[in-house]
Each structure stands twice: as C-alpha cells, then as structure tokens.
Structure 1
C-alpha cells in the first residue's frame, strides 16, 4: 500500500508561465528505494520540492496516508512526514555529528552513527573536520533518527568518490529495506539508478517508469 501519492499533479511557475510538470500520477510505497533520473533542467528538483511541500502544485494533490498535504498543512508535512538529505549535507558545522542528530531526536545516540559507518572517534569531532563522505553518513543518520516515514534525497552522492558512493547507496537501500522507509532519490548517477528497486525518468514534463 502506498504511503505517498501524487494525483494528477501539475506545476507551472507563476512568474514565467513555464510548465515544469504535466498532470502526473504516481504512488510510492514504504520499504522501497526509488530513483528519479532526468536531464539537467528536466524538473527533478521541482519534483522533489513538491513532494517535500516546499513547492505548491498548480493543480492536483499530493497525499500521505490518503491525506492531502495541503489539508494537513505544509509545515506539519515537512516536520512529521519528510526527512531530507541534501547533496551539500546541510549540517551545522560547528556541532558534532551526535549533536546534529540530537537536534532532530533528543534520544539519538552514537549507535546510529556506527551503523552509518562512522568510527567512534568521529562522533565527538566538529562536522567541519569530517570528509564529504563522513558528513553524508551523518546526514543520512539524521534522516533515520527522524520518525518521518519518507526520506527524500537530492543528489546524495553528487560530491562523493566512487567507493564512497557505493557505500552511501548501500546505506540508503538499508534505510528502505531494513527500516521500512520510503526512500526517493533524485540523481544523475547510473549506479544509484541501478541499485534502486524502481526507477522513474522525468521526461517530457512527466514521470515515466523505466
């Protein structure tokens, strides 16, 4: 059964009149790892923004557990339903990894960081002293300690080397399959797409299952 559903969703920029998304209907389930691919400028970031409640559909509705996110309130949706993972990590760099996690869940402990592959000694260092791969592990850990059932990731491997990319892909798969979350990744990476359970392509202003 779907946790997240787009029902005939359209999006057009008000100031320019440019349509980014034609009427699109798609469902996403918990326990699955989804990849959304497409060329630059195809609307991937806008698509993610719609799911996150950062952008408002021009028409149609987005449902979580059959409730329209407009009716529940976008702020509520972002706080309770969505955990975001960014390409640039969006961590507070003067805090430690554990302190970043505790901002989301005060009960978070070092165990989740170890599961993310972060060595014990790293948990007490300021974020600014960690590598990009280590910071992305913290960012995914932050999403995991959230009670949100949906994880949205925007190019999470975009700044990472090949080996770290493979490790991050495995972590995201585990978040979907072992933690039963709905993980949706917008990506340019063929490796991410190949690892996904379901791949969609944004083409001709709509979402096509590959």
Structure 2
C-alpha cells in the first residue's frame, strides 16, 4: 500500500496575500477513491497539483510512501506514479494511438500498440478513429481519448481527475467514472477527483471538502462499481 500524507500543509501563490491551502492535514491510500468537494476558487485544482508534484507546499510536508515529495525527482514521479486529467486537457495534436504511446513512454513502460488499441476500443472509439488526428474527432471522442490516457498508465499508483462533470461532460460521467473505479480496484490505485456537484459522489469511498483553505473529512461510504 502506498499512502500520501499531508501534515500542516500551506500553499500560497507569490502574488497573493491569502493562503490557498491553510494548514491542511489528510491521508490518501492506494485501493481507495476520494471525492473532494469545493466551490470554484476553493483551491481544489491547487490541491491536485500538489499531489501531482506540479508544485510543492509553501509550508508543512507532503510525503509519498514515507518520502518527502519535494525531495523526490518530481519529473520521474509524475511520469511513473501519477496519471492526471485537468480541465484544460493535455492531448497532443496527433492520433489517439500516438497520444497513448507518448503516455506509455513517459511512464517508463514499453510501448505496446496492441494494448493501446485495446484500451482505446474499450472506452468506445472505433478502429477507424485510432489513427486519425484527435483534432478531427468530436468533443465526446476526444474526452474518451483523455480517459484512455489515464487507463493505459497501469503502473500509476495515483489517478487525479479535476471535475469529472466537466472533463467527461460529453462522453458520459457515469461511464467514465465506472471505468476508472474498476481500473483502480483491479490495479490497487488511488483515485482522487474534485467536484462542485454530487453527480459522481457514489463512486467515492471517502468524501472530503475544501473551504477557505481548510481540508475537512466529511464521511466514509460504500462506493458503487
């Protein structure tokens, strides 16, 4: 089991007089899924960026399997340990196959084109769509490619999704979350996703909230598949 532990973590942007995250504590572990509630501007994306190693805390400590994340090679950590999807997306202007091939390369895995095609077909793309530019795909199908990028990274121990209701708005939130939940159970992965609604709440084992820089545990529940 791998665990991410936050102890009295602060994060403050350089040009801000207010802390985005203020003395937060919490722990998240592989094999479980977590939903983080919060209004727009509450710091949810900043929280995910910390877990992803894109930024480091201003004060306090964030440890991964007992090691300070700030002291690790964060490029390797992001490539091997984390799969993330933020609202702005990150698709290359290339084919669906090429996007997933790059994801496998960055994760340190051997590129397996058969496996990549299998994942893309499993999320709902057709064989004809695998090798054309994602820019020629519909918004729904581009979202399916983004979903497949998360699923193809089987060595990742942490999956982060910023507002499923937005990033999976056209391909189906329930469908995407069901596939992610199944993947995480099969691969003993930690899933953390943020939201402003209750649409995907049933897929979380634990519910947390973020308000005025404070992280609060809400409750534990039985999630659905």
TM-score (norm 2): 0.84
Cα distance in 2 between the residues matched to 1:133 and 1:33 = 25
Does the aligned pair in 1 maintain the 2:168–2:176 contact within 8 Å?
Answer: no
How much has 1:158 moved relative to structure 2? Answer: 0.6
Runs (5+) with no aligned partner, structure 2: 105-110, 219-225
Bigger Cα displacement from structure 2, 42-51 vs 11-20: 11-20
Inter-partner Cα distance in structure 1 for 2:62 and 2:34? 17
2:200 partner SS: helix
| Conservation of the 8 A alpha-carbon contact between 2:143 and 2:167 | no
2:112 paired with 1:104: no
The runs of at least 4 consecutive aligned structure 1 residues that moved more than 3 Å come to 159-163
Q: 1:163 to 1:143 in 2, by over 3 A?
A: closer
2:32 paired residue number: 32
Aligned length: 209
User: What is the match of residue 214 of structure 2?
Assistant: 206
Q: Which residue of 2 aligns with 1:188?
A: 196
Q: Is the 8 A contact 2:165 2:199 kept in 1?
A: no
Aligned partner of residue 152 in structure 1, secondary structure:
strand
Equivalent residue for 2:42? 42
The structure-2 alpha-carbon separation of the partners of 1:89 and 1:163, relative to structure 1 and needing over 3 Å to count, comes to closer
Matches within 5 A, 1:1-210: 1-93=1-93, 95-105=94-104, 106-108=111-113, 109-146=116-153, 147-158=155-166, 160-161=168-169, 164-210=172-218
Point out where structure 1 has 5 or more consecutive residues left out of the alignment: none
| 1:182 Cα deviation from its structure 2 partner | 0.8
Alignment partners' CA distance in 2, 1:161 and 1:67: 36
SS at match of 2:61: strand
RMSD: 1.9
Matches of 1:44 and 1:7, distance apart in 2: 17
CA distance in 1, matches of 2:206, 2:11: 23
Q: Contact (CA 8 Å) 1:2, 1:27: kept in 2 or not?
A: no
**2:140·2:170 contact (CA, 8 Å) conserved in 1?**
no
